[in-house]
């Protein structure tokens, strides 16, 4: 027997050191520090015995009246207040920093608090504004946050891996430069899952991010920290990335709005690499996009970002017109008649897709789809909208399989090297999904999978968008946008998110897609004691797992309380402006029905 003492693997010491540096950054400068009293802290880790333990309301007990007012304003109102001199950029930044600090203590959503840097930038903006009313840009003074992978010079982009800690970036990501050129103040970077390839944000360096509305449910991933921080009002707007649903899933889990743009709309480059540089262009490309608390907020920022994106990111395409996607409430009619739809009288035709053919919808999701499609039909004449039901296209059913093949073409060798370098173990969810020793696919095999992708794209053009050809060979589209679920199930418990076909497929096709929260889940949605309809055929292993989330012998349905039901909107490639428009239409139609019901 060996007498040598066992040594801990290197990753543990690195993680402890990194966590200590994060705690220090949370309290710098001391004037912005707010410590959550012990009696307000939730149990860690959460257990079913403790119940949902919502924490989203706790900042209201700790912040000043001014801080609460500032962090409750919409982005247009906040920017107007800064321009009017009602609030300085420093006071706005301080309010959001305080709220972000509280959010971190309650949910563990931050990786890099950038508070000192943010306040220094705010002071510069205030100085310039005081000397002649100079604005840095149209988003002067707006506090924003970004996912951990985006590089900021002088700070780590560790993406939760010990091997990348204490290796600060030497240059900003193009999105960072673009945001700051517009006057934004970046206050923090946010937590992600190990390998960036799961829908539950947990890693060995920073730990798990928790859902602020129900700590038993997942906060989503891989932009889970962004979804939580925005929902906690610790950032006016956040920026994540999406390759399988990593913006839309956290938006769904935290009851906020999230947009996955088309490739080339928002700069994606300048991030910490998880594989060989350039490999993503051989497979499928992730995109960057916003998470916010309203479509108005997303619109306000995207109309400034998108037209300038190609000046900052080599991965962006030019936008040669003014962005006018959403008819803002304060500016009615700006976009209401911009899009002539595909209907016979110019109606905007919205197709309803209810199942991807791999997972049947569980009752709450089927119900909210009925409610949204019904609300759109009710508002149809007022909005010039026509709603049509679409059968599940075979291409959508096949897409998840092709997507999985493309996402794995690099074999994960670089990620494996980084993990093994510090003897870092896989977190539980990844332990059955990530294999060390993988090899990159040969070029011929990659080409074969891309050919499968192209065939599915052609089928979608025919079967979803309803492109028809007249006797002269002229083509006409029949559908302008789609509404569909984000998942077959409600927001699930930690580690129980099922198949991602409802979100990943739109990345495969490069269709812009977004999450619109509809309403809170009600007790009546749970149908306690009522079993799932057994007459419906089990569609496969994914469907079987999804049904377990409703099977009362395996899941207490009451766990879904304190969660939000959402829907997904989708448009065709590069129609990002139209996506914003249809998301606003869905939002307006749903709220209109809810307002009428509230009066009854």
The pLDDT profile of the chain, 600 residues, written as one tens digit per residue, is 455 556 899 999 999 999 999 999 999 999 888 999 999 999 999 999 999 999 999 999 999 999 999 999 999 999 999 999 999 999 999 999 999 999 999 999 999 999 999 999 999 999 999 999 999 999 999 999 999 999 999 999 999 999 999 999 999 999 999 999 999 999 999 999 999 998 999 999 999 999 999 999 999 999 999 999 999 999 999 999 999 999 999 999 999 999 999 999 999 999 998 888 888 889 999 999 999 999 999 999 999 999 999 999 999 999 988 887 665 444 444 444 467 899 999 999 999 999 999 999 999 999 999 999 999 999 988 889 999 999 999 999 999 999 999 999 999 999 999 999 999 999 988 988 899 999 999 999 999 999 999 999 999 999 999 888 888 888 889 999 999 999 999 999 999 998 899 999 999 999 999 999 999 999 999 999 999 987 888 999 999 999 999 999 999 999 999 999 999 999 999 999 999 999 999 999 999 888 877 776
Q: What are phi and psi of 434, to 5 degrees?
A: -115, 130
Taking the C-alpha atoms of residue 73 and residue 75, their distance in angstroms, rounded to an integer, is 6
> How crowded is residue 418: how many other Cβ atoms within 10 Å of its Cβ?
18
Q: Is 545 an annotated catalytic residue?
A: no
Is residue 374 part of an annotated ligand binding site? Answer: no
Which of 222, 223, 546, 563 is labelled catalytic?
222
578 is catalytic: no
Alpha-carbon gap, residue 585 to 149, rounded angstroms: 33
Q: Helices (DSSP H) in 474-535: which residue ranges?
A: 501-508
Helix residue ranges per DSSP H, 27-131 = 59-62, 65-72, 75-83, 89-107, 115-130
Q: Which of 147, 189, 405, 578 is catalytic?
A: 147
Pairwise CA distance, residues 346 & 455, whole Å: 30
224 in a labelled binding site: no
Q: Is 196 annotated as a binding residue?
A: yes
Given 145, 157, 235, 246, the catalytic residue: 246
Please, is 417 exposed, middle or buried when counting C-beta atoms within 10 Å of its C-beta (0-12, 13-18, 19+)?
Answer: exposed
Please state the pTM of the whole predicted model: 0.96
244 is in an annotated binding site: yes
Measure the CA–CA gap between 21 and 335, rounded to whole angstroms: 47
Q: Are 213 and 54 in contact (CB under 8 A)?
A: yes
246 counts as catalytic? yes
To the question of whether residue 186 is assigned a binding role by annotation, the answer is no
What is 20-43+54-331+342-599's CATH number, 3.40.640.10, 3.90.1300.10, 3.40.50.1370, 3.30.2310.20?
3.90.1300.10
401 is an annotated ligand-binding site residue: no
């Amino acid at each position: 027997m060996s007498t040598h003492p066992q040594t801990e693997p290197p990753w543990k010491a690195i993680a402890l050191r990194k966590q200590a540096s994060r705690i220090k950054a949370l309290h710098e400068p001391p004037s912005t520090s707010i410590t959550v009293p012990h009696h307000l802290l939730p149990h860690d880790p959460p257990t079913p015995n403790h119940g949902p333990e919502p924490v989203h309301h706790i900042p209201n007990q700790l912040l000043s009246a001014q801080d609460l007012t500032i962090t409750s304003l919409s982005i247009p109102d906040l920017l107007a207040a800064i321009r009017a001199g009602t609030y300085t950029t420093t006071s706005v930044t301080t309010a959001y920093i305080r709220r972000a600090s509280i959010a971190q203590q309650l949910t563990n959503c931050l990786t890099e608090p950038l508070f000192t840097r943010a306040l220094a930038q705010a002071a510069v903006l205030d100085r310039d504004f005081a000397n002649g009313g100079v604005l840095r840009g149209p988003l002067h003074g707006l506090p924003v946050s970004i996912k951990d992978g985006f590089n900021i010079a002088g700070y780590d982009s560790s993406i939760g891996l010990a091997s990348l800690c204490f290796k600060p970036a030497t240059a900003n990501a193009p999105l960072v430069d673009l945001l700051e050129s517009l006057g934004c103040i970046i206050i923090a970077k946010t937590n992600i899952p190990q390998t960036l390839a799961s829908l539950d944000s947990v890693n060995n360096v920073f730990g798990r991010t928790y859902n602020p509305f129900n700590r038993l449910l997942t906060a989503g991933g891989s932009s889970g920290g962004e979804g939580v921080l925005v929902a906690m009002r610790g950032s006016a707007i956040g920026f994540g990335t999406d390759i399988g649903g990593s913006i839309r899933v956290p938006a769904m889990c935290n009851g906020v709005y999230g947009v996955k743009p088309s490739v080339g709309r928002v700069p994606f480059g300048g991030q910490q690499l998880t594989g060989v540089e350039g490999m993503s262009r051989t497979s499928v490309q992730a995109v960057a996009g916003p998470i916010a608390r309203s479509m108005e907020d997303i619109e306000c920022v995207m109309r400034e970002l998108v037209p300038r994106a190609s000046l900052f990111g080599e991965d962006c395409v030019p936008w040669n017109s003014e962005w006018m996607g959403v008819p803002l409430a304060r500016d009615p009619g700006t976009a209401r008649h911009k899009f002539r739809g595909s209907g016979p009288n110019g109606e905007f035709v919205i197709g309803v897709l209810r199942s991807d053919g791999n997972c049947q919808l569980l009752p709450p999701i089927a119900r909210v789809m009925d409610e949204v499609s019904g609300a759109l039909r009710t508002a149809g004449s007022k909005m010039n909208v026509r709603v049509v039901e679409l059968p599940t296209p075979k291409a959508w059913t096949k897409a998840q399989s092709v997507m999985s093949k493309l996402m794995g073409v690099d074999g994960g060798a670089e990620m494996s090297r980084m993990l093994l370098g510090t003897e870092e173990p896989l977190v539980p969810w990844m332990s059955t999904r990530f294999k060390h020793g993988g090899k990159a696919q040969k070029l011929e095999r990659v080409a074969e999978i891309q050919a499968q992708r192209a065939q599915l794209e052609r089928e979608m053009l025919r079967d979803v968008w309803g492109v028809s050809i007249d006797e002269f060979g002229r083509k006409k589209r029949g559908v302008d946008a789609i509404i569909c679920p984000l998942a077959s199930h409600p927001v699930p418990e930690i580690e129980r998110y099922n198949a991602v076909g409802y979100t990943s497929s739109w990345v495969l096709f490069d269709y812009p897609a977004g999450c619109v929260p509809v309403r809170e889940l009600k007790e009546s949605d749970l149908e306690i004691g009522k079993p799932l309809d057994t007459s419906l055929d089990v569609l496969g292993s994914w469907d079987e797992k999804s049904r377990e989330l409703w099977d009362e012998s395996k899941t207490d349905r009451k766990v879904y309380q304190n969660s939000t039901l959402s829907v997904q909107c989708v448009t065709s490639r590069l129609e990002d402006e139209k996506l914003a428009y249809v998301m606003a239409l869905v939002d307006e139609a749903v709220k209109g029905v809810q307002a009428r019901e509230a009066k009854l």
